[in-house]
Amino acid sequence: MDRENTIIIAAVIFILVVVMFSPRETETTEPKKIKVGVLTNTQTNASEVFLVDQAINEVNKYCLNHSLPYQFTPVYKGSQNRAKIAKEMTDEFHREDVSIILGYHWGSMLDTCDYQSRNYGMVIISPYSNTAVNRKVYRHIFQLTPMDIHETQVVARIMVDLGYMETTLFTTTHANQVGYIVEEFKEYYEEMGGRINSTLIYGRSINETQVNETLSQLEEMAGLKIPILAAETFISDPYFTEIHKYSNLLNHTWFATSHSNWNYTDTLSAIPELAEIKLIHPYLDMEPDQSNPKYQALNNLYYTEFGENMTRYTGNLYDAVWLSALTVIQTGEYDNVTFIETFPEVARDYNGVSGNCNLDQYGDRLNAGYNIYKYVLRGENVYLKEIGYCDTSLPGIQWTELQ
């Protein structure tokens, strides 16, 4: 029996040794293929493809090096910056099983595809556009360029910093309703102790009688020495050219937001009476952070390819790819609801080529810089003059010339 037991034990040990040291087949996991749609603009297609390809290649290497079972693939479609095309592209992306879309100039196109994209369970990450949409409704849209809404917040900070604790709003919106930008400005301004005396919604009529009736009403509402915020759009030409008839309005300090024209110097120069208007306007700072090593590395490649430097927000498209990939990796797979909840968490801690990508409660970029300008008369011409700088991540405004 002892001999038989010994043989049995030896056999068991032999089997165990064979099993333990036998070569095993390596288990292979097929990576999950995630398609990222890129809605390009035909005029800038080359640079967009370059940025996305660069990011996609790096993301896939990252997944491979960290044994993450994902493979990301870009799907490009040219929008031609037309609303109808954007609508069609959304349908095509859906048919091709694309759930994450990086949009270029959504602008008015967003209005035609936002419902479809939401209905399809897509998410849209807009690298450059700062489209005015209802952020409470369209939670599936994230915008990496600071929204106009943040510019109204900058205006509120400027007003308070200059001692203007009361204001009158002058605005035009669709369907004669006060837009969300005005509501957000009001909330932010009042939190800082400011008070809105009155709000006047004007139309876009070119009827001179209606224009003058509106300006007369504004003059009566504004009172004395109360700044006027022309939110969402500054006064369209018919209103602008008639202001000089209302001396009280010329005594006010006017503020404008980014939906307004970028430069009024020609119009102001053409109508000498308008030079009396004190117009203050913050503009989004497009200068990049040259000290950012991630920007430097990508910009070197970009410059070699195109012979020019990236702006502060050119890298948004590159960052959008990384943010999408990291969100998918963190959630385990793409799911519309989970993605929407997780994306802001990823963006908050992500410092990319364009800087920190922290978002507000509506999914819009928070941190940004704004140059603050006023219009000054020099001889017969009007020029922009920078008077300050507002970094939204810092509490104070840097003034080069106090008002």
Domains and CATH numbers, the chain: 32-145+313-356 (3.40.50.2300), 149-285+368-399 (3.40.50.2300)
Cα–Cα distance measured from residue 373 to residue 282, given in angstroms and rounded to the nearest whole number: 6
3-state secondary structure the chain: CHHHHHHHHHHHHHHHHHHHHCCCCCCCCCCEEEEEEEEECHHHHHHHHHHHHHHHHHHHHHHHHCCCCEEEEEEEEECCCCHHHHHHHHHHHHHCCCCEEEECCCCCHHHHHHHHHHHCCCEEEECCCCCCCCCCCCCCEEECCCCHHHHHHHHHHHHHHCCCCEEEEEECCHHHCCCHHHHHHHHHHHHCCCEEEEEEECCCCCCHHHHHHHHHHHHHHHCCCCCEEEECCCCCHHHHHHHHHCHHHHCCEEEECCCCCCCCHHHHHHCHHHHHCEEEEEEECCCCCCCCHHHHHHHHHHHHHHCCCCCCCCCHHHHHHHHHHHHHHHHCCCCHHHHHHHHHHHHHCCEECCEECCECCCCEECCCEEEEEEEEEECCEEEEEEEEEEECCCCCEEECCCC
Which residues is 231 bridged to in the sheet? Answer: 171
Query: What per-residue confidence (pLDDT) applies to 25?
Result: 47
- Which pLDDT tens digit goes with each residue over 137-161? 677 888 888 776 678 888 999 999 9
- Which pLDDT tens digit goes with each residue over 79-125? 665 556 667 778 888 999 999 988 755 544 555 556 778 888 899 88
Query: What per-residue confidence (pLDDT) applies to 229?
Result: 80
The answer to whether the beta carbons of residues 99 and 117 sit under 8 Å apart is: no
Regions of the chain short of the pLDDT cut 70 = 1-28, 41-44, 79-86, 104-114, 129-137, 148-149, 173-180, 203-206, 224-225, 231-237, 258-277, 402-403
The answer to whether the beta carbons of residues 120 and 142 sit under 8 Å apart is: no
Query: What per-residue confidence (pLDDT) applies to 250?
Result: 78
Beta sheet of 195-201, edge-to-edge order: 195-201, 166-171, 228-231, 253-256, 278-284, 369-378, 381-391, 397-399
Query: What per-residue confidence (pLDDT) applies to 246?
Result: 84
